[in-house]
Amino acid sequence: MGVLKRYGTYLPISEKTPKVNLEEGSTPLVRLDRIGDELGIELWAKLEGCNPSGSFKDRGMVLAVAKALEDGAKALVCASTGNTSASAAAYAAHVGVPCYVLLPSGKVALGKLAQALIYGARVIAVDGNFDRALELARQASEAKGLAMVNSVNPYRIISQKTGAWEICESLGRAPDLHVIPVGNAGNISAYWAGYKDFKSRGGIKDLPKMIGIQAEGAAPLATGKPCPNPETIATAIRIGNPVSAKTAISAVAESGGLFDTVTDDEILKAQKNLASRAGVFAEPASCATLAGLVKLAQAKKLPQGAKAVIVLTGNGLKDPDTAIAQAETPVKIGDTFEELLEALS
């Protein structure tokens, strides 16, 4: 029914707030027994790739755009590694305002670029990384009076808390471990705030441990060191200077959780594992979560029997190039039944 309708009572909206709705949220929480059994845990995946633009960004974008309209904004701007731009472009199109998106040139997955273009955003490819594009977008927002819809916009984080509320409602409790990929660190901050809200409303007794996973080449929070030149195949989280670093660090500390890193190889293995052994196709950044759990299990640091939720933040179809590059090639045959029989054997 859309996030503003389902959770309106708990969000900062009034009668004056436009009821923007692309039926975002209410995504599936799926139990993955084959992989979970192997790890010795009860494994659940929150399929955020089932949102209208194919990523978790829609949860926060719906409120950010509704409030921008309420405040009289005439146009939106954002910088993005891809998913924020796809989401902003979709909501801008839906409500009929222009949208400018700044992307790190050549470093955005194909599907996300296709989305921003076809939704009709003005796409600007910046010769720099995401962190630089974000600085430029902030300047443009101030100079031109454009509504900034990156997660520096507080409404984004507030509305992304709904993901945690849904998990608690589905499970009837919080998980023991909440495992989430970390880039700009907005989502881990939002989920932690969401779990704490749900507890203070009396909906759950215990809070989860927050486990934030970064790619090894873009891991400022996991290493505690600045990362001026982030690099990873998981382009969504190719971020060196996370805006929400502080709140993410306290989320992990307060919850007794941890940050960890995974390599690109481990991410790709996890992607294949999720697709071929659970029927769930998520983009590389999302698969860092499973890679992180596998790493913990190998180090014997995964509490056996624990209930773990991995947030699969974006749809695998967003990045077909990466999937095809590691997949087997199709078997080619002529057009005879004999050849087909041979191919089937």
Instruction: Give me the residues that bind ligand AN7 (CB under 6 A), please.
Output: 55, 80-84, 151, 181-187, 236-237, 283, 285-286, 313-314
Looking at the Cβ atoms of 69 and 185, the one nearer to ligand AN7 is 185
Looking at the Cβ atoms of 162 and 286, the one nearer to ligand AN7 is 286
CB neighbourhood size of 40 (10 A): 13
Looking at the Cβ atoms of 151 and 273, the one nearer to ligand AN7 is 151
Looking at the Cβ atoms of 17 and 241, the one nearer to ligand AN7 is 241
- Tell me how far, at minimum, the Cβ of 65 lies from ligand AN7, in Å: 15
- Tell me how far, at minimum, the Cβ of 133 lies from ligand AN7, in Å: 9
Looking at the Cβ atoms of 167 and 201, the one nearer to ligand AN7 is 167
What tokens were used for 221?
A: 């929070």
The CA angle 216-277-337, to the nearest 5 degrees, is 125
299 burial class (0-12, 13-18, 19+ CB within 10 angstroms)?
exposed
- Tell me how far, at minimum, the Cβ of 201 lies from ligand AN7, in Å: 24
- Tell me how far, at minimum, the Cβ of 41 lies from ligand AN7, in Å: 22
- Tell me how far, at minimum, the Cβ of 163 lies from ligand AN7, in Å: 11
For the chain, strand residue ranges (E) read 29-31, 42-47, 76-79, 99-104, 122-126, 147-148, 177-181, 209-215, 258-262, 307-312
CB neighbourhood size of 279 (10 A): 10
- Tell me how far, at minimum, the Cβ of 153 lies from ligand AN7, in Å: 12
Looking at the Cβ atoms of 229 and 298, the one nearer to ligand AN7 is 229
Instruction: Using CA atoms of 316, 322, 328, 330 in order, give the dihedral in degrees to the nearest 10.
Output: 80
Give residue 266's region: left, alpha or beta (phi > 0; psi -120 to 50): alpha
